[in-house]
Amino acid sequence: MTPAINQLIATKIKHSVLAYTHDPTSASFGLEAVEKLNLSSKLVFKTLMVTLDGRDLVVAIVPVDTTLNMKKLAKIAKSKKAEMASQQSAEKSSGYILGGISPLGQKRKLKTFIDESALVFEKIYVSGGKRGLEIELSALDLISITKAVVCSLKK
């Protein structure tokens, strides 16, 4: 069990866990999940750790086949600049390793933003807290448990 799965169990949120054998040479963790689990890339969301104005960490959740628009995120978060967090700060804050960062069960509770496209689907997939593990759950449940701001984040 990962902290992400434990959080869902503790809060009684309906979910499913899907596992696959992770290939360490994979170029994209999210697209690897899409391929190995035979899912639509529009349903699988990646969890990105972003630094605002060089100091505040936030979580951004976008479909794996898209790119996060840093300017949009900065504007929505009322910041001047948004940039990807360093691997070290992302892992230290979340408690997960890169490629397995889940928006759930993080060590530090951070402000979370999710792309509005998640609302189109009944179920979406996010990292389960380690490479090779995905969680299927309702987008509304994910938004509720993370208190995510729903907005347009894709380029």
The structural domain count of the chain equals 1
pLDDT digits (tens, 9 = 90+) for 9-21: 999 999 999 999 9
- Domain of 41 in residue numbering reads as 3-151
Token code pair at residue 40: 């639509």
CATH number of domain containing 129:
3.90.960.10
Phi, psi (degrees; rounded to nearest 5) at 92: -65, -45
pLDDT digits (tens, 9 = 90+) for 20-73: 999 888 888 888 999 999 999 999 999 999 999 999 999 999 999 999 999 999
**pTM for the structure as a whole:** 0.95
